[in-house]
Amino acid sequence: MKLVRYGPAGREKPGIIDAEGKIRDLSRIVPDIDGAMLADGGLAKIKKANINRLKVVPGKPRLGACIGHVRNFIAIGLNYSDHAAEAGMPIPKEPIIFNKAPTSICGPNDNTVIPKESTKMDYEVELGIVIGKRARYLDKGKAMSAVAGYFVSNDVSERSFQIDRSGGQWNKGKGCETFGPIGPWFVTKDEIKDPQNLDMWLDVNGERRQTGNTKTMIFGVEHLVWYCSQFFVMEPGDIIVTGTPPGVALGMKPEPKFLQAGDVVTLGIEGLGEQKQKLVELKK
């Protein structure tokens, strides 16, 4: 199933993509696409519903974040061998974990707002994971049972905040408002046969910047979910973004090509849909 949230920011409704690519309104089946729905067995309710009898949503409404009310936005750094090489950094022995502020989350096609004092705006196409049930000290071989599905993420980053002003941590370069577009869809895991073999790409103003595949992840989906559960409890609706392939602006030679106001970033992952964001100046 491909689940969506559509409508004005803050007033999104739940929906599902039908066989013809149209949005059908799920409001009669579940109140929202979020952790509470997952914890309450919402996916089973949706699966039992006769989708063709649900109302078709007219036009092309705004798409919101594909998961609502995210409590814990977990991110993994340097998780692609080829990206670690372009960054000139050793392959991590264990996953590098940081958090993005949940307030950074926005719709997949919303504008990216350039924060105050920004000088080095960057992009990162990433595979996202939706946690579907409480995950605490999972057994290694059972971690996938906690996965509900997947989505496309752009881990928008401000490198001067992250690196030049980090003080040893990345959060303030990763958590600014609109730095967490997720979607367009939350795709349930039954539709993705192998999350470790998905093509991914990102363009800036039509120029291909990133081309990769999840098979070059250092730590795969199963390992990441298991590993995170050894350090903190994850609840339904929590999300993990899993790292990016090479081609980020920071790693470009001879000079980085950071994003500027007016730039348009498009990105996608096989089977999970596409995103599009325009960079805009912060309104005072």
- Predicted TM-score of the model (pTM): 0.96
Q: How confident is the model at residue 268 (pLDDT cuts 50, 70, 90)?
A: very high
pLDDT at 121: 97
Q: What number is the average pLDDT over the span 64-77? A: 97
- Whether pLDDT at 167 is above 70: no
Question: Class of 73-281 per CATH?
Answer: alpha beta
Structure token digits, residue 59? 């036009």
**Domain positions in the chain:** 2-53, 73-281
Please determine, for residue 6, whether its predicted confidence score (pLDDT) is greater than 80.
yes
Among 267, 209, 223, which residue's Cα sits nearest to residue 79? 223
d(CA 217, CA 84): 10
> Is the pLDDT reported for residue 236 higher than 80?
yes
Residue at token pair 């061998």 = 81
- Decide which of 85 and 276 is more confident: 276
Angle at 55 between CA 53 and CA 56, to 5 degrees: 115
Model confidence at 202: pLDDT above 80: yes
- Taking residues 204-217, report their average pLDDT: 97
**Mean per-residue pLDDT, 63-82:** 95
Mean pLDDT of 180-204: 98
Question: What integer pLDDT is reported at residue 1 of this predicted model?
Answer: 98
DSSP class of 61: P
What is the Cα–Cα distance from 255 to 261, expressed in whole angstroms? 19
pLDDT band at residue 255, thresholds of 50, 70 and 90? very high
pLDDT digits (tens, 9 = 90+) for 74-97: 999 999 988 787 777 788 999 999
Question: Which of the four pLDDT bands, split at 50, 70 and 90, describes residue 166?
Answer: low
Q: What is the largest CA-CA distance in the chain?
A: 56
pLDDT digits (tens, 9 = 90+) for 131-156: 999 999 999 899 999 999 999 999 99
Distance of alpha carbon 156 from alpha carbon 263, whole angstroms: 13
Query: Region 200-205: what's the mean pLDDT?
Result: 98
Average pLDDT over residues 50-75: 97
Q: Give the single-character DSSP code of 137.
A: S
Average pLDDT, integer, range 196-203 = 98
Query: Is the confidence at residue 180, as pLDDT, over 80?
Result: yes
The C-alpha atoms of residue 228 and residue 75 are separated, in whole angstroms, by 10
- Average pLDDT for the chain: 95
User: What is the per-residue pLDDT for 21?
Assistant: 96
